[in-house]
Amino acid sequence: MRRALPLLCACLLLAGFAWPDGGDALGRRLVAPGGVSPLLPTARIEQLVARLPHREGRVPTSAGIELYWRAFDPGAYRLDYAYRPDGSERGRMDFSLDVVAPTVPVAPRGTVLLLHGWMMDGGSLLPWSLQLAQAGYRTIALDLRNHGRSGAAPAGYGLREARDIADAVAALRARGEIAGPLHVMGVSYGAATAIFSARELGLQVESVVALESFDNAGRAIRDMVPHMLHKAPESLAQQVSHRWLRWQLDDAALERAIEAAGDTLRLPLDRVDVGAALAQVPGCVLLVHGREDAHVPVAHGRALAAAAPRAQYLEVAGEDHISLPMRLDRLAPTVIDWFDNAAPARHCQSPLALTDPPPPTDA
């Protein structure tokens, strides 16, 4: 499923930089994803989708681009999912997933919009799409602008994407795809987008689940890039490229990259303030962050929680930016209960306690 690493943008691509100035190259990667993450098992995901009844299409936006969407109706999918990390970065996103096509129609108890991370697409959230559909929700995964099958437009680090989401919701509602209360769930870059979208949509959104959102775009980049450059390389090519990039990307170069990206986008990245938006969301918001997250450190989750005391915050020990969204075994009961019991007109309940991880087994 994925794992959208939020701005992983900058980073997954770091191993491919070979331009004369690392700051200029990074600045360009902060403007647009430049491709799909090699961590995403696209072919396997599409094979699974092809086995299941679903609807898909594109909806127009006021930005002049179209967004691709894919919907699954609720039903008995008999989901068999297991997270199977092997220690490598690619392997730490590995999972097994088997399902059956439902045969009995089920009326949706609500609709959940699913928003992916940077360099991912809606397919990266397929396990969540089916887990929530099995729980009775219609799920609609959207490809954000510049990702997947959607059109290209200036990135907004959640701000511009939120307007796209509002347009998509209006179009999908007109087509009868939005049924019952509307909920939004996002991961990383998609989590920040979910928060901005909930502010944009106001009372149309009953509740939000935001996994590992950043609280400020510029600060997230400053946290993530050094971590990616100093993590242990997994190949000789990464070892060489990381050394070159550490030489090229000093603090001054990183600041130039952030400023250049903001100038190109006409959006100062240090002013992309997710916490300020969160404080204005009328719906119930659940923030979840892995305590061991080194890409978007847990300080971002804590800052968001402090910015909006009405939001609920869960910090998950033992999970990081890659593992957290993969842990349906730990998170799904809490997420489903949150959607089931959201009542912003009355109060936002405390979240259900997370499921404990299974004990290690002897080899």
pTM of the model as a whole: 0.89
Q: Where are the domains of the chain?
A: 8-341
Shortest CA distance to 128 belongs to which of 202, 38, 191?
191
Q: Per residue in 159-217, pLDDT tens?
A: 999 999 999 999 999 999 999 999 999 999 999 999 999 999 999 999 999 999 999 99
Decide which of 2.30.30.100, 3.30.70.360, 3.55.50.30, 3.40.50.1820 is the CATH code for 8-341: 3.40.50.1820
- Hey, what are 308's tokens? 């909006």
Q: Per residue in 119-164, pLDDT tens?
A: 999 999 999 999 999 999 999 999 999 999 999 999 999 999 999 9
Strands 138-142 and 111-115: what pairing? parallel
